[in-house]
């Protein structure tokens, strides 16, 4: 028989309202053809394998014909300029000094397929191998105290290493103990949301 011990925790009885729809923002690297001849041979073999096992109809694998359709190397020094680049039908924008692509979290999280500019897009491909950083931005308001809290949850990647992070910004005169209570509640909500 499993015994669960209770633990006393502080209560946070404030009402919390989402002040704006959460945003999903990502920064990206440009793709480039992989320079190595050995890599090109590997990519061709992978393309042939994918065609044989997954491409029953020609339109199913149209992107395999491009040089970067199977695998691509990234090139951060070839980054696109704002206004000249799109991803998922979104124009590049700037957030906190970073150039990237923003969309409402709900659009990507609750949709299987999106249609933008007449192009059918799979929502699960919004974040891909070119994504270098992704963050979710939420703005909450506590009506009883007129406090506002910005929560940022994110992850950045360097090669094969992914580093998650979170940040809180308080736009109020919350006392330190009240700030800690809010951080605890938001952290619990975040963990519960992904379990």
Instruction: Give the model confidence (pLDDT) of 117-146 as tens digits.
Output: 888 888 888 888 788 899 999 988 887 777
Residues 6+ apart with CB under 8 A from 25: 95, 98, 100, 101, 102, 134, 135, 136, 137
Strand partners for 74: 31
pLDDT in tens, 8-45: 766 667 788 888 899 999 998 877 666 667 677 777 78
- Are 34 and 40 contacting, i.e. CB atoms less than 8 angstroms apart? yes
Measured CA to CA, the distance from residue 163 to residue 147 in angstroms comes to 30
Q: Is the pLDDT of residue 83 over 50?
A: no
* pLDDT value of position 127: 85
Nearest to 111, CA basis, from 96, 125, 92, 131 = 125
């Amino acid at each position: 028989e499993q015994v669960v011990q209770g633990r006393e925790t502080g209560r946070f009885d404030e009402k919390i309202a989402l002040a704006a729809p959460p945003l999903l923002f990502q920064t990206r690297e440009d793709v480039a053809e992989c320079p190595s001849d050995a890599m090109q041979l590997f990519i061709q073999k992978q393309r042939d394998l994918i065609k044989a096992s997954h491409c029953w109809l020609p339109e199913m694998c149209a992107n395999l014909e491009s040089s970067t359709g199977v695998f691509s190397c990234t090139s951060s020094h070839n980054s696109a300029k704002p206004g000249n680049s799109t991803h998922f039908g979104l124009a590049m924008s700037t957030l906190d000094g970073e150039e990237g692509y923003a969309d409402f979290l709900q659009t990507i999280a609750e949709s299987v397929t999106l249609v933008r500019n007449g192009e059918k897009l799979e929502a699960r491909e919004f974040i891909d191998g070119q994504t270098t950083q992704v963050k979710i931005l939420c703005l909450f308001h506590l009506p009883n105290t007129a406090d506002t809290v910005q929560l940022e949850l994110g992850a950045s990647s360097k090669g094969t290493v992914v580093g998650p992070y979170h940040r809180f910004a308080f736009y109020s005169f919350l006392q330190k103990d009240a700030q800690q209570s809010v951080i605890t509640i938001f952290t619990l909500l975040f963990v519960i949301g992904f379990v």
